[in-house]
């Protein structure tokens, strides 16, 4: 196991200086501190600290520009709560930490974790292009990513719902109601999960023997473009149902339809994804693929504790669950 | 919660008769017992029994025609051991139960579990066409399937390694050694896992920017056909490396190459899948994608205990790990 002495030897400095750098002492230059931290990570010093009592600290890191968690109506609130429900009785202290892209640019993931004394993290809301996503290919501090999948690093794991199953349930539900022509409305494919759901839509259509081609999907970075361009196009194509990549899109689609004089579900059925807190209260209440956020939080802790114990779990997927409400109904003969 | 009285009421018989049927009393006709068991399952009587002390019994069900587990050199021995290592300290009694297709034909999964007082099972070695695979679409007794994925039943879960990652590691290893033309040798695609690996091979080739087409894969039900037909074909095509669907195929391929005067790894590199106990001892020792069988057993218990506690985990995948031994080496310029 790596000791402070090893780091000192490698850098040719004293143990005291290393210790100061690791503990953020004010009389150490920023450059030297950076060197010490990088060397500590390189030598695997994190591994030692995990077993120290002071290191029994975990964090839930939230990309604050993509996801909210502070209040009960925020999507990630229950995820953080589920994580705490498991981690705290097991003796861990849990901190929820908001980060953004500029933090990621300034400091690598491993060094961030070492500097803050976190033994491992559960990360929510990172998009594919963000700096730490590259770090995770080779990082050494256990990281569980919600809705992101890193290939080939045994210290990372992916936790989420089974989107293939969710899409299969959504398409199957619509098919049972007589729908044949089903569209998919999505935000841009800049996140892992948007790519997975997009692919899952076409796979589910195929599995249920329904005709589809690329024109049945509409993806735009801007919600407004989805509503103004793809939604009218879908209606012109004679689609009778639309599955949306997430509930916020489905809710906007309901509103947009109403403004165009198209009634949901009489004229078109709409299904969302996620079951966010507002979804039972849209008008009509939204049929959606539910993610049980408490269970996601619990599974996040389970995956992290497995990694901390050297059991290299890579993926934990929860069963998807279709919440049937009032935004879908049997197709009407015209 | 369903009681014996409910079952008696539904069938219009006495509680005593129901109790006798549930306890295999000899003075109850087979037809009546079948009716009672089916009604018990239909009414969800299993759920009640889970909380009784006597029902703290789990089983590892092994399809004995496809997989062996009794001895340390058998593939599934460590899986059963890993499962026990977690389940027994948690207070469960664990029984390993061999079954075959004819048992599955005689009795449904739920009734088998009820009759034997098992609260849940971990199932190894079922092929896609077997009778119980249909049962699992609607079964109610928690079932964790090793290397089989049931969509849409919240009381089942899938546990295995991440085959996409495993194939990615195998292809990446070969590419780093200079191999460009890589073949895939597989048994018939009659099991879920063979389908997954077959697809993962082409995906990994694509991800690594290597040319491939369907002729780069050879699949046959009979090992002999793979060796006599596909292997010589691969050599004629000028392939420099072959990935096999499992170690037994890789081991046979090494032998077949030797008989044809082709040296492994000088003339062709060979990679297996699984890292079965014999793989370090083939000649040359086999480079292979390792499945840590103890960890699979532990993860099987984790998934099952989640299902028993109402957390509907659907998939748990372990990180794959490439064991580099001597059956692969840098491609030789000719």
Instruction: For A178-210, write each residue's pLDDT tens digit.
Output: 999 999 999 999 899 999 999 999 999 999 999
Mean pLDDT of A89-116: 94
Q: Is the pLDDT score of A9 beyond 60?
A: yes
With beta carbons under 8 A apart, name residues in chain A contacting B168: 151-152
DSSP-assigned states of every residue in A142-190: -EEEET---SS-TTEEEEEE-HHHHHHHHHHHHHHTT---EEEEEE-S-
The phi and psi torsions of A309 (rounded to 5 degrees) equal -95, 10
With beta carbons under 8 A apart, name residues in chain A contacting B154: 319, 321
Banded model confidence at residue B50, pLDDT cuts 50, 70, 90: very low
Say whether both B59 and B138 belong to one domain: yes
- Check residue B333 and give its pLDDT: 65
Dist. CA A89–CA A268, nearest whole Å = 47
Q: Is the pLDDT score of B53 beyond 80?
A: no
Which of B158, B315, B320 to mutate: most A Cβ within 10 Å?
B315
**Residue B316 distance to chain A (closest CA, Å):** 5
Dist. CA B59–CA B99, nearest whole Å = 12
Say whether both B19 and B71 belong to one domain: no
Q: Tell me if A96 is assigned to some domain.
A: no
ipTM above 0.85, yes or no: no
Q: Is the pLDDT score of A113 beyond 70?
A: yes
**Residue B5 distance to chain A (closest CA, Å):** 32
- B163 interfacial to chain A (CB closer than 8 Å): no
Strands (E) in B10-142, as ranges, are 57-63, 93-99, 120-124
Give Cβ neighbours of residue A76 (< 8 Å, ≥ 6 apart).
A62, A67, A68, A69, A124, A125, A293
A316 vs B319: CB contact, 8 Å cut-off? no
Q: Tell me if B323 is assigned to some domain.
A: no
Mean pLDDT of B315-320: 96
Say whether both B187 and B283 belong to one domain: yes
Q: Tell me if A243 is assigned to some domain.
A: yes
Containing structural domain, residue B269: 163-291
Q: Tell me if B48 is assigned to some domain.
A: no
With beta carbons under 8 A apart, name residues in chain B contacting A295: 311-312
B316 vs A312: CB contact, 8 Å cut-off? no
Banded model confidence at residue B47, pLDDT cuts 50, 70, 90: very low
**Residue B259 distance to chain A (closest CA, Å):** 36
* Minimum-distance CB partner of A318 among B292, B302, B312: B312
- B311 interfacial to chain A (CB closer than 8 Å): yes
**Coil, strand or helix at B209:** coil
Say whether both B275 and B170 belong to one domain: yes
Contact A165, B151 (CB under 8 A): yes
The CATH number of the domain holding residue B269 is: 3.40.50.2300
Residue B321, beta-bridge partner list: B290
- B152 interfacial to chain A (CB closer than 8 Å): yes
Q: Tell me if A217 is assigned to some domain.
A: yes
Q: Tell me if B140 is assigned to some domain.
A: yes
- Check residue B334 and give its pLDDT: 57
Banded model confidence at residue A72, pLDDT cuts 50, 70, 90: confident
Say whether both B176 and B65 belong to one domain: no
For chain B, give the percent of residues with pLDDT over 70. 96
* Minimum-distance CB partner of B317 among A152, A302, A315: A315
Q: Tell me if B124 is assigned to some domain.
A: yes
Mean pLDDT of B160-165: 96
Say whether both B167 and B186 belong to one domain: yes
Q: How many CA atoms lie within 13 A of A115 on its CB side?
A: 16
Banded model confidence at residue A37, pLDDT cuts 50, 70, 90: confident
Instruction: For A128-162, write each residue's pLDDT tens digit.
Output: 999 999 999 999 999 999 999 999 899 999 999 99
Sheet-wide strand order for A269-274: A217-220, A182-187, A241-244, A269-274, A287-290, A321-323
Instruction: For A245-297, write each residue's pLDDT tens digit.
Output: 999 999 999 999 998 999 999 999 999 999 998 899 999 999 999 999 999 99
Q: Tell me if A237 is assigned to some domain.
A: yes
Say whether both B223 and B302 belong to one domain: no
Nearest CA in chain B to A297: B311
Dist. CA B199–CA A290, nearest whole Å = 29
Q: Is the pLDDT score of B243 beyond 90?
A: yes
Contact B328, B174 (CB under 8 A): yes
Mean pLDDT of chain B, nearest integer = 91
A57-63 vs A93-99, strand pairing mode: parallel
A313 vs B319: CB contact, 8 Å cut-off? yes
Exposed / middle / buried, residue A272 (Cβ in 10 Å: 0-12, 13-18, 19+): buried
Taking residue B235's Cβ as centre, other Cβ atoms within 10 Å add up to 17
Of the candidates B322, B326, B303, B7, the residue with the CA atom closest to the CA atom of residue B162? B322
Of the candidates B151, B187, B147, the residue with the CA atom closest to the CA atom of residue B318? B147
**Residue A303 distance to chain B (closest CA, Å):** 9
**Residue B319 distance to chain A (closest CA, Å):** 5
- Check residue A175 and give its pLDDT: 98
Q: Is the pLDDT score of A81 beyond 90?
A: yes
Say whether both B96 and B60 belong to one domain: yes
With beta carbons under 8 A apart, name residues in chain B contacting A151: 164-165, 168
Q: Quick one: DSSP state of residue B310?
A: T
Q: Say how many domains are in chain B.
A: 3
CA dist B295 → A311, B147, B320 (Å): 7, 14, 11
Which of B313, B320, B321, B322 to mutate: most A Cβ within 10 Å?
B313
A162 vs B298: CB contact, 8 Å cut-off? no
Which of A316, A321, A323 to mutate: most B Cβ within 10 Å?
A316
Of the candidates B150, B123, B136, the residue with the CA atom closest to the CA atom of residue B67? B123
With beta carbons under 8 A apart, name residues in chain B contacting A165: 151-152, 314
Mean pLDDT of B15-40: 84
Contact B203, B167 (CB under 8 A): yes
Say whether both B145 and B174 belong to one domain: no
Say whether both B153 and B169 belong to one domain: no
Mean pLDDT of B36-58: 69
Q: Which long-range contacts (CB under 8 A, 24 or more apart) does B107-112 make?
A: B108/B41, B108/B132, B108/B135, B108/B139, B109/B135, B109/B136, B109/B139, B109/B141, B109/B143, B110/B41, B110/B46, B110/B135, B110/B139, B110/B140, B110/B141, B111/B34, B111/B37, B111/B38, B111/B41
Say whether both B61 and B120 belong to one domain: yes
Say whether both B254 and B144 belong to one domain: no
The CATH number of the domain holding residue A2 is: 1.10.260.40
- A312 interfacial to chain B (CB closer than 8 Å): yes
B319 vs A311: CB contact, 8 Å cut-off? no
- A267 interfacial to chain B (CB closer than 8 Å): no
CA dist A136 → A38, A106, A194, B141 (Å): 15, 16, 20, 38
The phi and psi torsions of B211 (rounded to 5 degrees) equal -70, 140
Give Cβ neighbours of residue A31 (< 8 Å, ≥ 6 apart).
none
Helix axes B15-22, B30-42, angle to 10 degrees: 100
Banded model confidence at residue B23, pLDDT cuts 50, 70, 90: confident
- B44 interfacial to chain A (CB closer than 8 Å): no
């Amino acid at each position: 196991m790596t000791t402070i002495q090893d780091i000192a030897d490698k850098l040719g400095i004293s143990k005291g200086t290393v210790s100061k750098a690791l503990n953020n002492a004010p009389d150490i230059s920023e450059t030297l501190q950076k060197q010490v931290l990088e060397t500590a990570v390189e030598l695997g010093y994190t591994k030692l600290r995990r077993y120290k009592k002071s290191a029994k600290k975990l964090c839930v890191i939230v990309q604050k520009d993509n996801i909210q968690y502070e209040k009960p109506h925020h999507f990630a609130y229950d995820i953080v709560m589920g994580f705490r429900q498991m981690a705290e009785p097991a003796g861990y202290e849990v901190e929820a930490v908001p980060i953004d892209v500029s933090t990621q640019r300034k400091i690598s993931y491993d060094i961030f974790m070492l500097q803050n004394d976190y033994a491992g993290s559960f990360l929510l809301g990172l998009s594919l292009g963000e700096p730490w996503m590259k770090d995770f290919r080779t990082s050494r501090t256990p990281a569980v990513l919600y809705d992101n999948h890193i290939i080939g690093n045994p210290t990372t794991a992916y936790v989420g719902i089974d989107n293939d199953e969710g899409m299969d349930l959504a398409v199957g539900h619509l098919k049972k109601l007589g729908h044949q022509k089903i569209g998919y409305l999505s935000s841009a494919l800049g996140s892992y999960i948007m790519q997975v759901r997009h692919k899952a839509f076409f796979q589910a259509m195929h599995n249920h023997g329904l005709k589809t081609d690329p024109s049945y999907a509409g993806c735009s970075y801007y919600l407004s473009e989805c509503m103004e361009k793809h939604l009218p196009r879908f209606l012109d194509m004679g689609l009778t149902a639309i599955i949306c990549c997430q509930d916020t899109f489905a809710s906007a689609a309901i509103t947009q339809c109403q403004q165009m004089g198209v009634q949901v579900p009489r004229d078109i059925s709409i299904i969302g994804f996620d079951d966010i807190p507002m979804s039972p209260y849209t008008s009509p209440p939204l049929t959606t693929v539910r993610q049980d956020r408490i269970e996601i939080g619990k599974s996040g802790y389970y995956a992290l504790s497995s990694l901390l114990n050297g059991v290299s779990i890579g993926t934990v997927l929860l069963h998807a669950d279709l919440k049937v409400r009032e935004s879908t109904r049997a197709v009407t003969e015209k």
